[in-house]
Chain A
Amino acid sequence: MGNNTVSMNLNLKIWRQKSATDKGEMVDYKLTDVSPDMSFLEMLDMLNDRLIREGKDPVAFDHDCREGICGMCSLMINGQAHGPERETTTCQLHMRSFKNGDTIVIEPWRAKAFPIHKDLMVDRSAFDEIIAAGGYVSVNTGHAPDANAIPIPKENADLAMDAAACIGCAACVASCKNASAMLFVSAKISQLALLPQGEAESKQRAEAMVAKMDELGFGNCTNEAECEASCPKGIDISNIARMNREFIKGGLTNR
């Protein structure tokens, strides 16, 4: 892991696109004196700082918490969603994962359902639309219940928590060769279906969310598990199998 060089010189190839309607192109930048301790986004901040000083348009990219928990950062780095490290968001990726002299290709998530706003920023509202279609519990469940007021088997609680770890960053869609959203949708279906509060509406939920997902133009799953491998939160494809079951269960039994 990493190296001990004090600073690194990098060749960046970045997707630049002025607006949603602009054609866009890959643009080369040289960046010198990059610290291996910088995060990937700090490296981009450094580039933008320079671009602003030069009176040029800075590179637009999404970010928010920079703690790996909000799901805002994205980026296809050298052909991999969130870069080369396992279970790591782009904001938690550090320049020590690269070598002095490396060429780094940086692109936005690419999917029909995620139109590009500008440069590396894409519109992920499609995910919000899927959630709005059924990824919730309709009744007001009140404030946090007393622990163990509703007995839930430990295994179910763990599985629901694993699914709930999804931050909705869409690396699954970005890395899937079919731009399928099934890992995201299945995580959102699973986190609710596994708990008694969410189970009540599980019959309608899978049907509604999958219908929305299909309508938005995401691709179809071919069970390659690139989504699982790219997921910064380690959501696994057994959730997709659960969604497949939930969908059939709902389709057959929901009136």
Chain B
Amino acid sequence: MSSRLTRIVGSSIVKKQAMAITGLLLCGFLVTHLAGNFLIIYSADAFNQYAYALTSNPLIYVAEAGLAALFLGHIGMAIKLTLENHKARPQKYYMKKPTGRGSTFASSTMPYTGMITLIFLVIHLINFKFGPLYMTTVDGVEMRDLYRTVVEYFASPLNVLWYIIAMVALGIHLSHGVWSAFQSLGFNHPSYTPTLRMASKAFAVLIVVGYSSLPIYCYLIQGGH
């Protein structure tokens, strides 16, 4: 019965589980992307070769389409849920105070930290993927000198600062989001959930520190000008 299927798929529970699954998969992307980025520290050639290996593989289009679907799914569903939640209380309270035992700064700012991350993502793609195109030759193969694009961009302290601000926003988003995803998927266990909540914060810190370290590194190797 199709009406039953649409009702289940469109239910509040499946919608938040869709947020959870897309969110967790995007966390996987964050880790892989960060690992690749660390090649910047290893050497310019290694970084360029890595980027070349990714972009010259025809499967990149499949991967990019999948990634785009994850982002669009997560963002689209977030917009839908936020609008629905807004409608569920048409008249706001004159006074509303958190108990201090439930919501956190991170949990109550999810739409905002998500939005900052989205703005960052667009700017990030413009600056790097569609940014200045330089060419270089590594081991006789001509390829894009993405290393130069990145390092040049981070010569500006303002760019470094914006990058770090965006990463902190993302980290705040993750500190609630990762744990929350497990809860939405039905995983809440007295023995593991407290650890999971800690791990969620630890993961957020790891992402913020990991990603922020690279622009700082790029800025410093250029003598800070």
Could you tell me which A residues sit within 8 Å of B by CB distance?
Answer: 13, 15, 26, 76, 78-80, 86, 105, 107, 110-113, 175, 177-180, 182, 207, 210-211, 213-214, 217-230, 237-238, 240-245, 247-248, 251
Contact = CB atoms under 8 A, between A and B. Distances in A.
Contacts of B225: none
Contacts of A223: 107, 176, 179-180, 183-184
Interface in B1-52: 7-8, 10-17
Interface residues of B, number: 46
Nearest to B90: A112
Given A177-B103, A220-B84, A241-B187, A107 B95 contact: yes
Q: Interface residues of A: mostly helix, strand, loop or mixed?
A: mixed
B12 A229 contact: no
A247 B11 contact: yes
B88 A217 contact: yes
Given A175-B99, A224-B102, A241 B12 contact: no
Given A244-B185, A245-B186, 11 more contacts: A78-B97, A80-B99, A111-B89, A112-B88, A177-B96, A211-B7, A214-B10, A219-B85, A222-B110, A224-B107, A241-B188
A56 B179 CA distance: 52
Nearest to A244: B186
Nearest to B103: A224
B95 A105 contact: yes
24 contacts: A79-B93, A111-B88, A177-B85, A177-B96, A179-B89, A182-B12, A207-B8, A211-B7, A219-B87, A220-B15, A220-B16, A220-B81, A222-B16, A222-B85, A223-B107, A223-B183, A225-B101, A225-B102, A240-B188, A241-B187, A242-B186, A244-B17, A244-B184, A248-B17
Contacts of A86: 101
A122 B17 CA distance: 31
Contacts of A220: 12, 15-16, 81, 84-85, 88
Interface of B: 7-8, 10-17, 81, 84-85, 87-104, 107-108, 110, 176, 179-180, 183-190, 193
B88 A180 contact: yes
A251 B8 contact: yes
A158 to B, nearest CB: 12
Nearest to B104: A224
B102 A227 contact: yes
Contacts of B89: 110-112, 177-179, 219
Contacts of B187: 241
A189 to B, nearest CB: 11
Given A177-B85, A221-B12, A223-B107, A238 B188 contact: yes
Contacts of A110: 89, 91-93
Contact of B97 (A80, A219, A228, A241): A80
A26 B183 contact: no
B112 to A, nearest CB: 13
A245 B88 CA distance: 24
A213 B107 contact: no
Contacts of A242: 186, 188
B99 A222 contact: no
A237 B81 CA distance: 20
Contacts of A26: 94
Contact of A226 (B8, B99, B186): B99
A226 B98 contact: yes
A13 B95 CA distance: 10
A78 B13 contact: no
Contacts of A178: 85, 88-89
